[in-house]
Amino acid sequence: MSDYEHYEALVVGAGPGGAAAAATFANYGIETLVLERGVEAGSKNVSGGLIYAEESAPYTIDDLFPGFREAAAERPITKYRIHNIAGDKVESFDLTDLHEHDTEWSDSVLRRKMDSWLEDRVHERTRETGGGLLTGVHVNGLLREEGRIVGVTLDELDPITADIIVAADGVNSELARDAGLMDWDEPDEWFQGVKAVVDMPEDAIADRFDVAEDEGAAHLFSGDLFEGVRGGGFLYTNRDTLSLGTVFHLDSLVAEQAEPHELLDGLLTHPLLAQWLGDDYTELEYSAKLVPDSKKVALREPHFGRLLLVGDAAGQMQAQGPIIKGMNHAVTAGALAAESYAQAKSRNEPEKAGTRYARKLRSEGVMKKLRPRGYELLRGVTEDDGVTNVVDSVLTSAVGRAGVRALSGRLERLYNVPTLSALMPDTRTPYVTLPTVIAEELGTRVRDQSSVTPPDLEARIGGLTYDTDIGSPHITLRDESYEASGAAVAACPVSAVDFGGGCYREEVVRTNGSEERVVSLDTQPCVECGTCAVVADTDWSHPRGDKGVEFKWG
């Protein structure tokens, strides 16, 4: 093996999955180095976000890091509701039973605060075993010798070798792609989330949401307020801020040519939210990220040689209707990955760490949650376009509407059945048609008027912090034709069709009397969500360490 710096274990990414892996390695006395590309853990991360501790999980974040909830979380979520919307009519259901199913606790979090707190503890614990944690370093690929993975390559440092590598480098994992374990070919396998962090004093949160200091609220939104795009909105109370955002199926976003920032504004300005947002709206940060649809992409064998994938890098994000869980699965996976290596090593068979890890994901019930068997069996029927058209036609007919009215006393109970959420098809029926009909037939008209004026896209981009890597763009267009890459003009969360200051712009090139629509790219305003890697023909990588966008809230 080449004479590079060597550690027994490398962990790439210092989010909750990487932190869990590093802490578990340290518990086994394994020398571990953690590599984080942000200036600080959390500076590159965005989540909705709620973190759960499931009763059935073998590991939870507070088990691994005592004091987590008191120091790193925002509020316990004690109220959970979904709002079905049609115009200004709303019918709301209490989803607390669904929220509390298999739940020990659930807290709202902001990633910069949470991840930086975890970083300090990980640094302390890994140093005790001869390792440590480095920030501002971008791991750009895998190091191979004679075809075998032996380490990682970096922009800022010489390659580093290791006996085991845990990739917790997020949804845009360059290591997962380098190993051939994950690709970005199909928009229907991904969600795009866009989020605003909004300033609100604690006393205003207590009054407007009717919560005490140790309580919090989560609200979900679906129906006709998102221009027919499949997905929905969310609002979570933090300590003295709100997290508001939207999450949409990427293929639907592209098909409808909808612009993410406008869909977010549609939520923020809906009259239902006037009771919570009031007339003093102050947006602190705008952000976006891709989210894997675990039902379709969660890897059953998330390993290759010495490389183990955890969290979003392995597609371990459970987004099934109103059930949205990701960070807790990353924690479980990170700990199980480290545990698998330690146990395989103790049996003098470290090469079997990957197969042991995959087996643990199955035996501990993680894969059953991420890839529910019932969904896989039924999706060929429930997601057929013809079936969807028939179901929607029935729902919107007089007969269907009468059925909704007849079920009015049972709908809330049905919404709280975990099995039904797991079977929910990725069609417009549950996201758009059904909630719209429910609101039209059962809803109450909202009389409030919104006074919220969201910032425009230019102001949102201007409010972010960037350290631009001048002369080293991290994205390049392979094909600038509109046919190949034009979808990014609308789908990119910092671009828009009539906005010239974003990443992607449509241009018309006139040559010898002919016209051609092309796309141009400027990576300076990029929020590194990865959307264009899926919907455009690009070569996509992360910026070098410390470069690019830096989120203050996340």
**What residue spans in the chain does CATH classification 3.30.9 cover?**
76-103+184-293+380-454
Please report the pLDDT score of residue 183 as a whole number.
Answer: 83
Tell me the whole-structure pTM to 2 decimals.
0.96
What does the angle CA 154 – CA 160 – CA 163 come to, to the nearest 5 degrees?
A: 135
**What residue spans in the chain does CATH classification 3.50.50.60 cover?**
5-74+109-182+299-370
Residue 430 in this model has a pLDDT that exceeds 90: yes
Q: What are phi and psi of 194, to 5 degrees?
A: -125, 140
Other Cβ atoms less than 10 A from the Cβ of 216: the count is 25
Determine whether domain 5-74+109-182+299-370 maps to CATH 3.20.20.210.
no
b (16+ CB within 10 A) / e for 103-139:
bebbbbbbbbbbbbbbbebbbebbeebebbbbbbbbb
Q: Which CATH number fits domain 76-103+184-293+380-454: 1.10.890, 3.30.9, 1.10.3470, 1.10.20?
A: 3.30.9
Please report the pLDDT score of residue 184 as a whole number.
Answer: 73
Residue 1 in this model has a pLDDT that exceeds 60: no
**What residue spans in the chain does CATH classification 3.30.70.20 cover?**
465-550
Q: What is the DSSP secondary-structure string of 329-397?
A: HHHHHHHHHHHHHHHHHHTT-GGGHHHHHHHHHHHTTHHHHHS-HHHHHHHHHHT-HHHHHHHHHHHHS
Q: Which amino acid would we find at residue 130? A: G
Please report the pLDDT score of residue 312 as a whole number.
Answer: 97
What average pLDDT score do residues 319-334 get?
94
Please report the pLDDT score of residue 327 as a whole number.
Answer: 97
What average pLDDT score do residues 313-333 get?
94
b (16+ CB within 10 A) / e for 338-349:
bbbbbbbbeeee
Residue 19 in this model has a pLDDT that exceeds 60: yes
The CATH classification number of 465-550 equals 3.30.70.20
Please report the pLDDT score of residue 432 as a whole number.
Answer: 97
Percent of the chain with pLDDT over 70: 100
Place of tokens 């190949």: 484
d(CA 219, CA 94) in angstroms, rounded, equals 10
d(CA 301, CA 309) in angstroms, rounded, equals 9
Please report the pLDDT score of residue 470 as a whole number.
Answer: 84
Q: What are phi and psi of 186, to 5 degrees?
A: -115, 115
The strand pair at 538-540 and 475-477 is best described as: antiparallel
